[in-house]
Amino acid sequence: MKTTLYLEAPADLSIGTVRISNESGTLREWTATPDDRVFESDEIKPGPYLVEISPAGVAAQSVIFDVEEGKANTVTLPYFSALSSMGSNTAFLSAGSEIHAKFDRQQTVFFGMEPSAIVTLPVTTPAEKLATDDADIKERKLSVGLSQENSGKRESFGPFRGHSHAELAGSRLEISIFDDEASSAWNASRVRISIAIERSRVERALVPLYRGGTTISITPSALSSADVGLEIVPADPMLRALIRALHAGVSEEAEVIRDKVLPKLRPLSNDGPSEGDPWSAILVGLLSTRFPDTFGDANYDWIVNLADRAIFAFDAQVVAAHYAITQASAAGQEKAVKTAVQRLAKAQAAGSPYYAYADELFAELISGLNELRIAEKISDPEIAKTVHRMFSRYQRELLLQKKSGATFVWFRRDQEALRNGLLVPDRKSSGLLRRPDTSIIFEGRIASGRVSLGNGQGRQKSSRRRQLVGDLAFSPPSGDRSFEDCPALSRQPGPRNDPNKGRFGGQAAMAGFSVTATFARTDDEDWTKINLVVEADQNIDVALGDSVWFFLHPTFSPAQLKVLFRGRRAVLSTEAYGGFTVGVWIPKYKAELELNLAELSLAPSIIRDR
């Protein structure tokens, strides 16, 4: 029988390079898209292979796998998001497309790797203890919230009206949001994310309501607890390919976008942008300015149509300003300058950009126009004044801005400094967000390279300290299907002060899984740290990407959190004052677990007695 191979790259890959090699060298390398992820060979040499996946603008991930002689080998790679959550850039894939703890050290020799570079998933015993966080002395409060612009009231925000769910994927906090308004996003009100870091800042960004949902990733810095990386991308890999190419793509990837992705998305029509989705149209406009040789000159009427319809988007106005200048004839330069200035003024009036590249484009345009002003080459004095005003504002606000990947981010200003004429970020943040105008999606704590749930409100020395953590009053419900399939949700809640009690079957161990808790002191005697651990028995094959839903007391934000397995364990760390029952749902295995913290003999008195 022949030795064959069918390999499928990660299903969530948007655009990026995939390279397959063995000890003899590279077999194939191509720019993959959601519809071009498969490699097939009807006759292939057996032995170890390496596949490297390099999405544009994202750290590459590698997987080593074996091709068995005389067999039809099928290899389906795990989701890229699951691979990137493992804490290593290389993993070993077994014949069943499962990531395992064991790997063949000899295989690494073929690819010039040290064995230490390969991920090993921990296989633990109940007697093992979790690593403590005593060495981390810079832990800070962290809050994440979503706000939505009130209808008809510019820059007036209230709670987010859509749905969301949060997930801890390794050290990364991932939030998925869904909004019914995305189907009519041309007229939808703007959505804003706010991230508050104690003693550091409050940073914000506008969130596009992509068709099919939006994924927000918050990654703590490995070097400091005062910084995070923010990424906002479409859940749809096709749309995400446009973001990747805009942020970090090269001309070859832009050509793939033009030839393979855009015909599927169909963001364009003869009359203007398509009805369904402004974001693909805005991204095409930005891509055409970044890769003019690939996309050619855009139809100016189409660009004007886009800017007029997407009047809410800074980005669309900047694209129109760019094309007003670049497509003007020599005789029409003066009119082109006036049109561009008017578009840039509309951009500033619209607020902040969605995309970092739009801000770069604005900077290039306004700087160039200001040079013309200084050289007295703008004949209209009113236009010259407008250019000077916009350029001065741009320079003044630079200290309040940063770029986080493809996303434009700005900082909340320091009001006290502003009264003294200084425009600087507010570095005195409490790490909390205001609930009346914000949906609190996550409250917890951040340290170098780590995010944990809970105690976002701080350890308060008042009558309110009996409250646990967070405030679910404005937190939107989850839209995750695996969450909705949980049988406990069809049962009546338990007691009002402990609604999970008795709702998840009452067993801490069943179906090959168990849930346990350990406790540790904090620097406040009224609070305790809780490490919740769901662990699989040795006979359970836990695959990369498998997850657990933890159901906590309703006063946590969020009260339900999805956590990925790392090896055989899924761990959630939090802090609390008072006992409550933890519910657990493991979707893939249809397993429910329940643990009443107040009934544990090793629990401290503040959990057992309050």
Quick one: which of 243, 237, 186 has its CA closest to 209?
186
Dihedral (CA of 543, 79, 52, 120) sign: negative
Q: Among 28-37, 182-191, 228-237, 435-444, which stretch is predicted with the lowest mean pLDDT?
A: 182-191
Residue 462 has what pLDDT?
35
What is the DSSP code (8-state) at residue 261? I
Residue 452 has what pLDDT?
86
Residue range 298-326: average pLDDT?
92
CATH code linked to domain 480-608: 2.60.40
For residue 573, what are the contacts with CB-CB under 8 A and spacing of at least 6?
A: 452, 453, 454, 529, 530, 531, 532
Residue 555 scores a pLDDT above 90: no
Amino acid at 457: Q
Kindly list the domain boundaries of the chain, sorted by start residue: 4-117, 285-402, 480-608
Look over the chain and give the mean of its residue pLDDT values, rounded to a whole number. Answer: 84
Which is more confident, 378 or 266?
378
Residue 248 has what pLDDT?
86
Which range, 113-127, 391-405, 469-483, has the best average confidence (pLDDT)? 391-405
Residue 464 scores a pLDDT above 70: no
Quick one: which of 185, 152, 154 has its CA closest to 309?
185
Quick one: which of 9, 215, 219 has its CA closest to 93?
9
Distance of CA 581 to the CA centre of its chain: 30
What is the DSSP code (8-state) at residue 246? H
∠ CA 225-230-235 to the nearest 5 degrees?
140
Residue 122 scores a pLDDT above 70: no
Residue range 390-402: average pLDDT?
94
Residue 267 has what pLDDT?
63
CA dist 28 and 100 (Å) reads 26
Residue 20's DSSP bridge partners are 28, 51
User: pLDDT (tens digit, 9 = 90+) per residue, 145-195?
Assistant: 999 998 777 778 999 988 888 888 878 899 998 876 655 567 668 899 999
Residue 470 has what pLDDT?
31
Same CATH fold assignment for domains 4-117 and 480-608: yes
Q: With pLDDT > 90 as the criterion, what percentage of the chain qualifies?
A: 55
Residue 114 has what pLDDT?
46
Fold for 4-117, please state it.
Immunoglobulin-like (2.60.40)
Dihedral (CA of 216, 244, 11, 110) sign: negative
Q: Among 92-101, 176-185, 307-316, 435-444, which stretch is predicted with the lowest mean pLDDT?
A: 92-101
User: pLDDT (tens digit, 9 = 90+) per residue, 5-54?
Assistant: 999 999 889 999 999 999 889 999 999 999 899 999 998 999 999 999 99
